[in-house]
Amino acid sequence: MNKTELTRQYLELLKKSLLNELYVENEARLIHTFLQILTKSPLEYSHYFNIAQTQPDLLKTLRELKLTGDTIVLNHTTADGKTRAAHELRNITELSHTMIGRKRLENIQFCVETVLEDNIKGDFIETGIWRGGACIFMRGLLMAYGETDRTVWAADSFEGVPPPTWPEDSGFDISASVLPVLAVSLEEVQELFHRYGLLDEKVKFLKGWFKDTLPTAPIERLAILRLDGDLYESTMDALIPLYDKVERGGFVIVDDYGSCPPCKRAINDFRSQHGIHEAVQEIDSHSIFWRKT
């Protein structure tokens, strides 16, 4: 087996692991368990022996979500008979190390391989990293291709998304009090990098709100800027100090353009205000990217 094929196989295995495609049956078993509890239905051993036969629709749905990055949110039935989303269960039922899905991981791979092939200088950064899966994949790509001159910057509050304070974010509260699943500690993320064998001096963490960390971050130039801040404020707080550091030929990726309206407004406003005319390309229903020319 030649080096090219080994690299391809390593990167494919890394994607499968980050997405939990390798153990998707166990994820299905866990979700089935909580569904039975929430609906006060009986749990039977036979449901777990061959989940592909007993819960084929659930397994099919989970496999589709691994591609798109969509999520399953289970529902409670409240005492008054109404249905309430059990967002807190996402801390338990979401087992993947990234929630961006295969299409967006493959976009990262395309962008990284392109800047390496075209010799576009600069580091990589993601602003808003959750469990760190996308940054782990970036670091894995650099290791797979023997690239030693770039740093992967991982910027996050490690306390979740800030509560909305800007008028553009009014009514869009996904802070830790609403979605605790989005708050992952720095120690948890570092341990996960270590688990993949990818925690080294080429990974730098920027802990804190973007407005405090990014303007003074010691980043000289970027080849890839990946935005995942969800809010108008967070998106602007990343774009304003970092966009000009993206080299010509580098990429800007926006994870939540299609799923977080405040983020979409921020991107559209920033592009308009700064005369950015490069064509936007859709990755999936959630995300877009463009190449700086």
- Higher-scoring residue by pLDDT: 17, 41: 17
Least confident of 78-82, 115-119, 248-252: 78-82
pLDDT of residue 96: 94
Residue 106 is a catalytic residue: yes
**C-alpha pair distances (Å), 132 with each of 10, 71, 92, 199:** 18, 17, 17, 11
Looking at the predicted structure, is the pLDDT value of residue 274 above 80? yes
How far is the C-alpha of 220 from the C-alpha of 214, rounded, in Å?
A: 12
pLDDT of residue 101: 96
Q: 229, 182 in Cβ contact below 8 A?
A: no
Where do the structural domains in the chain lie, given as residue ranges?
A: 20-93, 101-291
Confidence band, pLDDT 50/70/90 cuts, at residue 127: very high
Q: Which of 21, 44, 106, 247 is catalytic?
A: 106
SS3 assignment for the chain: CCHHHHHHHHHHHHHHHHCCCCCHHHHHHHHHHHHHHHCCCCCCCHHHHCHHHHCHHHHHHHHHHHHHCCCCCCEEECCCCCEEECHHHHHHHCCCCCCCHHHHHHHHHHHHHHHHHCCCCCEEEEECCCCCHHHHHHHHHHHHCCCCCCCEEEEECCCCECCCCCHHHCCCCCECCCCHHHCCCHHHHHHHHHHCCCCCCCEEEEECCHHHHCCCCCCCCEEEEEECCCCHHHHHHHHHHHHHHEEEEEEEEECCCCCCHHHHHHHHHHHHHCCCCCCCEECCCCCEEEECC
Q: Which residues make beta-bridge pairs with 140?
A: none
Least confident of 77-86, 112-121, 145-154: 77-86
Residue-wise pLDDT for 153-204, tens only, equals 999 999 999 999 999 999 999 898 888 889 999 999 999 999 999 999 999 9
Least confident of 91-95, 184-188, 234-238, 289-293: 91-95
- Higher-scoring residue by pLDDT: 218, 177: 218
pLDDT averaged over the chain?
94
- The whole-model pTM stands at 0.94
Looking at the predicted structure, is the pLDDT value of residue 2 above 90? no
Residue-wise pLDDT for 34-86, tens only, equals 888 888 888 888 888 888 898 999 999 999 999 999 988 888 777 777 788 87
**C-alpha pair distances (Å), 61 with each of 12, 25, 86, 88, 236:** 21, 12, 19, 21, 34
Residue-wise pLDDT for 80-92, tens only, equals 777 888 777 887 8
Looking at the predicted structure, is the pLDDT value of residue 142 above 80? yes
Q: What angle do CA 109, 284, 27 make, to 5 degrees?
A: 80
Q: Which fold has domain 101-291?
A: Rossmann fold (3.40.50)
pLDDT of residue 74: 85
